[in-house]
Amino acid sequence: MTSIGIIGTGKMGSGLGRVWAAAGHQVFFGSRDADKAKALAAEVGAGLQGGTFEQAAEFGDIVLLCVPGFTAEETAQELANVVRGKALIDLTNVMSQTGFGLFVGTTTSMAEIIAHHTGAKVVKAFNTIHVLNLANPVIDGLRADVYYCGDDDTAKSLTKQLIIDAGFEPVDCGPLQAARYLEPLAGLWIHLAFGMGGKRETAFKLLGR
């Protein structure tokens, strides 16, 4: 059982929180509005907690950052003193305000920027999965991939287990620098699903022999 602090109670934060709580993990929902997080915690399950971003970050052995991309850097900086040295999953996407195009990339990534500002053991993960897939990660008999990367082995092991517990296939993409590839990959998914009117319940799968 892992203690997970969730920063942001939107679609991904509440969705993954539900999934991990059902898998037996201790979840603390953090919100800009502590009452909203407490109500969500009470609704999701007995024994779960809710409060501020800071309280959630303090609670977690691992912290999930799931705020909009445009505020990810600022929010992480505000929590730096609490998350320093902790495992932190960054699932934010750096999509520009139009929803298409990236505002960070090629020579760095949001995950690296967050690691630099906070000193947290950052793992990029779950950013290439759409929220609709959380309900059923198996499509046509294939388990959807969750790509993850990071520089700290312990943080990566914790993340790998949480990916498995959410029902996805973990794919280790190596060091945190690989987030420079994972962040644009989410852009491709958004382009296909929203820009080209594709299916929403789609996910990436790495094939090989």
93 contacts ligand NAP (rule: CB under 6 A): yes
Q: Where are the alpha helices (DSSP H) in 29-168?
A: 34-44, 53-59, 69-78, 80-83, 110-118, 153-165
| Contact in structure between 112 and 176 (CB atoms under 8 Å) | yes
Place of tokens 């960070």: 104
Q: State the nearest-atom distance from the C-beta of 13 to ligand NAP, in Å.
A: 6
109 contacts ligand NAP (rule: CB under 6 A): no
Choice between 14 and 153, CB closer to ligand NAP: 14
114 CB contacts (<8 Å, ≥6 apart)?
65, 72, 73, 76, 88, 90, 120, 122
Of 26-65, binders to ligand NAP (CB under 6 A) are 31-33, 36
- Interstrand relation of 145-150 and 3-7 (parallel, antiparallel or unpaired): unpaired
**Considering only 98-106, 124-132, 139-147, 169-177, which stretch makes contact with ligand NAP by CB under 6 A?**
124-132
Q: State the nearest-atom distance from the C-beta of 97 to ligand NAP, in Å.
A: 12
118 contacts ligand NAP (rule: CB under 6 A): no
Angstrom distance (rounded) from CA 13 to CA 32 = 13
**Considering only 5-13, 41-49, 144-152, 177-185, which stretch makes contact with ligand NAP by CB under 6 A?**
5-13
Choice between 1 and 98, CB closer to ligand NAP: 98
**Considering only 43-51, 96-104, 125-133, 147-155, which stretch makes contact with ligand NAP by CB under 6 A?**
125-133
Among the listed residues 56, 111, 123, 129, the single contact to ligand NAP using CB under 6 A: 129
Choice between 68 and 175, CB closer to ligand NAP: 68
Q: State the nearest-atom distance from the C-beta of 209 to ligand NAP, in Å.
A: 29
* Partners of residue 90 on adjacent β-strands: 65, 124
The helix (H) or strand (E) run that includes residue 197 is none
159 contacts ligand NAP (rule: CB under 6 A): no
Q: State the nearest-atom distance from the C-beta of 68 to ligand NAP, in Å.
A: 5
- Other CB atoms within 10 Å distance of the CB of residue 46: 7
Query: Phi/psi class of residue 203: alpha, beta or left (left: φ > 0; alpha: ψ in -120 to 50)?
Result: beta
